[in-house]
Amino acid sequence: MCDTFVALNNATKDGSVIFGKNSDRHPNEAHELVFIPHATHPEGGDVKCTYISVPQVRETHAVLLSKPFWIWGAEMGANEHGVVIGNEAVFTKVPYDKQPGLIGMDFIRLALERAATADEALDVMIELLETHDQGGNCMFSGQMYYHNGFLIADPQSAWIFETAGKHWAAEKVRDVLTISNLISIGSSFDRASADLVSHAVSKGWCQSEADFNFSECYSDFVYTNFAAGKHRSCRIGELLAAHTGEIDLPFAMGLLRDHGPAADEDWLPGKGVLGAEVCMHASFGPVRGSQTTGAMVSHLASDRQTHWLTGTSATCTSVFKPVWIDAGLPDHTPAPTGLYDHATAWWRHENLHREVLRDYATRIKVIEEERNAIEAGFLTQIDELMDASQEARAAFTQSCFDNAEKSEAAWLAKVIDLPISHPRPILDRFAWQGFDRQAKRSSSHQAKLAA
């Protein structure tokens, strides 16, 4: 489960476009940050995606990806031309193709590598969908099949593109928009597959074009409701609408950390078996198996694009760090897997994240103020670096990652010795003990020694 939003230049404080996404996946599905440089390829070659190969293009753009470690594509990413894309699982009445094919994350990487504008990216994705369809297991631990919705943006414009098998519709964004785990396009859209309406009529989902509504006709009721996408989408939409004209980077980062209107100072993420907020925390039960495993906020100005990534799970316990595509990613740790590995930054952060969960209401307070101050410091220094050399900006990115890592180690040392004042629900504790066993992660005492 995920949430993605965009605010166009008529809705932001500085006239830029701001894009953000949380990627919600299995708690042990480590996220990896990857930079792939601009490249040329032999004529007539293929590119191997997660499951299948498709024809390669002659030239691919440089891309920055935030991706589940085992997937070729990405949950969200950006390219050298300022195009950014995020996807959402959507659940439809159209049967899912369980044979290996292109999955939603593959569409993102292929479009970023091939398109220089949001309009071009939409065209690339439509062609890929109509040529290759979508299919294959999208779950790291177990089996899950779904269709996809996408939010595509560049420094001038944005599109929402939602699919049900090979059927699709696309709507141009006018000011602010958020998508989640549901088809959100209704009866109004700018582009659509040729048979979108006729297929719905043939299935009896509507009587005619006059009463056609994409969401109402194609959505699967059960999975769409249990995914709680409408709840989260409405929450982000209300906050975006209330702040239109004042939306900036700190606000965007705060949106991805939102735990809902009921989250007071004593709020615990492990309560309930149906909880699903924007900053998602896994817990006990079949509909609480997803955790925010990575987050990205992109600041798309016409002259330069800055991408802020956590590269770690639980947006509320993570620090956003700035990256410029022309300056690349800093030296970082080996790629993580689904098993605990202290050598990787993602899993080192899990020591902090999972310790905070033991008494969230008390322990998050150790982090919040300093986390916000660190990001505010990064933002202040960014203004002085916009015209700096690639080398200078690369060095700054490295220092931001190092600063965040050092801070997280200090926070872990503090929280691990705090007494438990707000015990977590017992089912939540059992759930996380299970996640730790699956990942072969050490006990809290061993985590302290490792830190």
Q: Please report the sign of the dihedral spanned by the C-alpha atoms of residue 355, residue 356, residue 362, residue 364.
A: positive
CA 198 to chain CA centroid, Å, is 33
340 phi and psi, to 5 degrees? -60, 130
DSSP 97: B
Distance (Å, whole) CA 169 – CA 150: 11
* Cα angle: 138, vertex 144, 145; to 5 degrees: 75
Of the candidates 289, 321, 292, which has an alpha carbon nearest to the alpha carbon of residue 306? 321
Residue 192 pairs with which residues in a beta bridge? 169
Catalytic: which of 2, 279, 316, 400?
2
2 belongs to the catalytic site: yes
Is residue 218 within 8 A of residue 167, CB to CB? The reply is yes
Is residue 31 within 8 A of residue 196, CB to CB? The reply is no
Distance (Å, whole) CA 68 – CA 63: 16
Q: Cα torsion for 66, 112, 327, 178, to the nearest 10°?
A: -60
> What are the tokens at 123?
């065209």
Strands 63-68 vs 59-60: parallel, antiparallel or unpaired: unpaired
User: DSSP labels for 189-201?
Assistant: -SEE-TTHHHHHH
Q: Please report the sign of the dihedral spanned by the C-alpha atoms of residue 216, residue 222, residue 224, residue 228.
A: positive
Distance (Å, whole) CA 257 – CA 281: 11
CA 17 to chain CA centroid, Å, is 17
Catalytically active residues, by annotation: 2
